[in-house]
Amino acid sequence: MNHQRLHILVSGVVQGVFFRDNTVKQAHHLRLKGWVRNLMDGRVEILAEGPRTELEELLEWATHGPPQANVTDIQPEWLEAQDNLEAFALVSTSAQSLDDPANG
């Protein structure tokens, strides 16, 4: 299996519309590991690991999200799997995304 890591930043009307809850459901269905969280700037951040085909399905779903969402931009970043993520979960809101230079 070709395991990879996928980091996604989703912009638009993606908070207050059950985007995170539905992301967790999608990830569980696809048997992915990782997390999803809101960012204080209004975006949603997703970090997931698993087989490439399942990650591609999650990415496709995230381009539109749940019915109440209005996704205007999506920024995926494919990375090498690190095998250090647990069962997919909703985590606390953060002021900065993983790709923020301040996290460097």
CA 74 to chain centre: 10
52 is catalytic: no
Reading the block at residue 51, the tokens are 């087989």
103 is catalytic: no
Q: Which of 5, 22, 37, 38 is catalytic?
A: 38
Reading the block at residue 52, the tokens are 């490439």
Q: Which of 20, 22, 37, 43 is catalytic?
A: 20
Reading the block at residue 74, the tokens are 């999506």
The single-letter DSSP state of residue 11 is E
Active site residues: 20, 38
